[in-house]
Homo-oligomer: A and B are copies of this chain.
């Protein structure tokens, strides 16, 4: 890479999962609007056709006159080809198909276990991890062989397990995980400033926060806006909307949107623990024993969020496939609107253009002082030329530490289970998830059927 006149124009990015219909478009759009960066995007996907479509869509963006970030999109045939010479590697894949996801989400319902997402923890998150880990072993080995100096950005869930697997296989890897759930909570705080103080249009970047925890189970321990401590305000906010829930938009009801919530779980957690949980309620709920928020569909309804179904996801994919077709044919043009994601700003910091502090998922080196070293945690970090330095974020209070620690330990067990493929051990870790409130015999039966359902990705 050459840094010249405040620009870096020969960046090589390998995009694993480059056939994505969704997040890839967002990323391409953001790139096309930034004039300081340019180079090549190598698209790699086991669905080659999908990658080819994105090659067309990406190069069309470059060809447009109204874009300033010019990138050359190229489909690659092999991981080796994609990685060799890459400065950055982006990983954003779907491990398995909707068939396996159906088992992740719905098989446990036969035993009375309900999950709102099923991709992070719980029986679904665990099985998804079992499928994903072998894929990440392969990717990590390829990066070690072909791009050991590259920066690797992960977007796949289960986030912590994916990032950790990369480090287990190749400890010198320069990998980190990005997730936008925290940004959503910053936006909620901006809404709060309007609701309680009448301050309008606060950009989320101006809400200064310190976060700590595990991805999707992250906690804001400090929040400021222009020198103002936001915690007393949030207390007022949580109490005001504890019973009714809070909706960002008047016309926007959580019941109409599988991905929305009314923040009641977040408010309940604040009243219990005094910290602001920094993820959507659907993610947060899955980190607790069932009696909290996921006992049964009625309980879920009471807490005002939805159980995403796999049928919904399939329907959603159909819409995205149709849009892909329109984009490839030129029938539809991508709108040049910033996504609010920070991925590109992080890349700019890493090439030396502008230092940035943002939240990130990397192994714990002490940035959270009372979670195990090595566990992938989410905190702020300072991004600068060829460096990510997590900022020391202190200790979680005992009560929250107790909750997060359980999952930190399970994260370690999950990764070991996926790496060793030791079925007995895997069962013990599976059974240890707080959502699996089953007798040892029922737990065994559920485990066996879920393993059978996803067997072809496991090779156990």
Contact = CB atoms under 8 A, between A and B. Distances in A.
Nearest to A223: B385
A229 B3 CA distance: 11
Contacts of A274: 428
A352 B406 contact: no
Nearest to A1: B227
B410 A398 contact: yes
Given A208-B385, A440-B271, A399 B370 contact: no
Nearest to A351: B227
A280 interface: no
Interface stretch (A16-24, A184-192, A361-369): A361-369
Interface stretch (A89-97, A152-160, A172-180, A388-396): A388-396
Interface string A369-399: 1101000000011101111011111100111
Interface stretch (A101-109, A248-256, A429-437, A447-455): A429-437
A128 to B, nearest CB: 19
A401 B390 CA distance: 21
A392 B366 contact: yes
Contact of A366 (B355, B366, B384): B366
A431 B353 CA distance: 39
A412 B399 CA distance: 10
B372 A369 contact: no
A96 to B, nearest CB: 25
Interface in A236-280: 268, 271-274
Contacts of A208: 352, 355, 384-385
User: Which DSSP category, helix, strand, loop or mixed, fits chain A's interface?
Assistant: mixed
B372 A365 contact: no
B402 A406 contact: yes
A366 B363 CA distance: 13
Given A272-B440, A366-B365, A405-B409, A389 B431 contact: no
A429 B385 CA distance: 29
A417 to B, nearest CB: 9
Contacts of A355: 208, 357
B399 A432 contact: yes
Interface in A27-81: none
Given A272-B431, A402-B409, 4 more contacts: A365-B369, A367-B392, A391-B391, A405-B405
22 contacts: A208-B352, A210-B387, A224-B352, A227-B353, A228-B352, A268-B440, A272-B428, A272-B440, A355-B357, A365-B369, A365-B392, A380-B389, A389-B391, A390-B392, A398-B416, A398-B429, A398-B432, A399-B429, A401-B409, A402-B413, A403-B432, A406-B406
Closest 10 CB pairs of A and B: A366-B366, A3-B227, A227-B352, A398-B413, A389-B391, A402-B409, A399-B432, A224-B385, A399-B428, A390-B392
